[in-house]
Structure 1
């Protein structure tokens, strides 16, 4: 189980490396532009979750702190939860990367923020939302036209 736990993160490293270390490379945008990259850690999730799906279903259908605390003592449940967190962080990092490129936010500013998304996405995401607002105001001031929101399109 330890190998699958580790694998759930390591399969995402190439995608994070592209976004952080090669953000302007033309192939990075094409690769990261695919939502299918988030399926890679979810494959690990499926491998470990299917055998414990009953236990996991009871966690989501009738959640309680005590039940979750007990469930994460099972390495398979904890590994499945970890893989789900890793997949979510990659999905969020992907959105941040694509949005920042569309808004032309400098990669040197985005690199540390994407690392922060890997480590603590609940902190990095609101920071990015503030950053994109500031960048949007700057763009409107400099060019007179606000950036189009790639998500709303």
Structure 2
């Protein structure tokens, strides 16, 4: 066994072993054998949305945050009630989302939104829905912008609902609204639990925020 020459093996992207019978591996191969990789070998090329979708993505991301701060930090302020008491702010970000969707359709080409036909794989119970969704995200950068603004807008709508319910029935909601902003649906669950803890049913009817003192 001692007389046998050691043959280093490289593992390629396909997972197949490549035998090096011509001597020691080249420096780049040696790095692969030791587990080290060059930055260029690990860098992934991502395609972002073209303008103006790229800029509007930032609007969808950062635009709602001041309004979240109002209903989290100043839930009973008259300023907060005036700004967030109506649907205007939520509708504004609905328009942002609509701009991304319509702009993507108009652009067409590789930057366009994911074709509706590709959703067939996402909603195919016999297939791999998660993998199909990942492919859509990878192939259509504007689809990421659409879904992101979609999620953030609905989160704001739910956060506003929780805040209004807290005002109407004098329930502390800052923690629930904050959690809604961070991870969405669990914030509504936390509000439901809070209602149970304080002995108030979570399904009572909402009143106009302007009638709340």
Q: Which moved more, 1:25-34 or 1:81-90?
A: 25-34
* Counterpart for residue 58 of structure 1: 117
Does residue 139 of structure 2 align to residue 83 of structure 1? Answer: no
* Counterpart for residue 99 of structure 1: 165
SS of aligned partner of 2:188 = helix
**Structure exhibiting the larger radius of gyration computed from Cα positions:** 2
> Normalising by the residue count of structure 2, what TM-score does the alignment of the two structures yield?
0.57
Distance 2:194 2:96 in 1: 33
Judge conservation of contact 1:45–1:80 (CA < 8 Å) in 2: yes
Q: Deviations along 1:110-135, whole A, 9 cap, x unmatched? A: 22321111111221211111112332
Q: Deviations along 1:42-76, whole A, 9 cap, x unmatched? A: 2221222114456353355x351243222212221
Question: Which structure 1 residue ranges, 4+ long, deviate > 3 Å from structure 2?
Answer: 51-54, 56-60
* Counterpart for residue 133 of structure 2: 68
Distance 2:158 2:121 in 1: 24
Higher-helix-fraction structure: 1
> Normalising by the residue count of structure 1, what TM-score does the alignment of the two structures yield?
0.77
* Counterpart for residue 16 of structure 1: 68
Distance 1:32 1:59 in 2: 37
**Matched residue pairs, number?**
140
Judge conservation of contact 1:8–1:44 (CA < 8 Å) in 2: yes
Q: Deviations along 1:25-54, whole A, 9 cap, x unmatched? A: 113123212122112222221222114456
* Counterpart for residue 190 of structure 2: 127
Which of 77, 82, 98 matches 1:25? 77
Alpha carbons of structure 1 residues 41 and 69: separation in structure 2 relative to 1, 3 Å:
same
* Counterpart for residue 114 of structure 1: 177
